Structure 1
């Protein structure tokens, strides 16, 4: 638990301690989560323990000092970023928010983004375990990948998932004995008594083309043949 509190900068901890009910999360002044969600006594114990450890870390040099900007260290962001006013971690990604900058660490590689005129209020990772991050600002929810990169490789582009297949468009076979549509009938079998009949038939052919029942070439051939009769 001491290492978890230290990794969280004394303000948060993600832990997995069998003596404390397994996996859990603690945040200073926030909500404490434990495996046994209804065990309020255990939550109080975890909160008190984490506060005591955070105070001990603040007043004593327990772990070796790791220079700022060292990947994997507590201050993993570049030293010229200064002191973050917010930091956290989700799965395999760590992030820290600075005035005008956002630092993100993925697999030991750090990317610094220009936050432009955004006032970041919170950061969340895309559900499903990929590496896409979004943040909320006065403009709503924004993808981190939309920010300009000041240094570093940047995060991989989010995967595009396709969950829907396009239905195949097919023309159902005609039942025997049924009257075929006008496009399927030879022109010499159709009663084309006037130019109005020809125009109406062309309109029907256009509807069949738009519905996918006939091809564009079939429509053009029939239309040419019909216009020749005017």
Structure 2
């Protein structure tokens, strides 16, 4: 039984009509984008040339490697699905998430959720709140997300002083640590007061790779990027991208020549 929401199904059908694809093909792509945290997708759709991969702000690979028209179609389709998921819940989510326990009902339906070790967290766009449960029996922490449209979670290295274990989020404003959002009272249901985005962490034009948190009913991420990430600019981002490209090469998704070409392009930015 499909767990597509009514809004998700309507959006998929509308996109399918515009792209001249079947609804099943677009739903497959939506799940692939969802499972990739909104920033990447691995798919196998006959209507789109079979197996392929998409990376936001990066390369799009299709079965017909030299078919630039098909590459553009896949890139545009994945980008549109990623953007749509930032404001539309495509797949039904359970009321409980990793480790069990429900969220306060007034928060509404989470658009993204995930967990690390005992901790669990979820983003509620209608309430404009992010809930964080450390999983140690302590009080639930609510964060004011203000005007942010959060598209996914990731984890970075952090010091012991970070109460959220290095968890960060992506939004239309960039990449932000949870510790940069203001904490609000658990029963605060009024309008958020934050009018400006908090301090960014890292390069706002590049979102770290999601920590294996797909957008499905397993209590993990359910949103996508508000906009495709831009190519990496600083040294750490470039080296990280090269490492991921090497993994794609080792997996057979990239030829040695393609890897060398992209590597040279990235190194030229240093």
TM-score band, normalised by the shorter chain? 0.3 to 0.5
TM-score (norm 2): 0.29
Q: Which has the larger radius of gyration?
A: 1
TM-score (norm 1): 0.33
Query: Per residue, is there more strand in 1 or in 2?
Result: 1
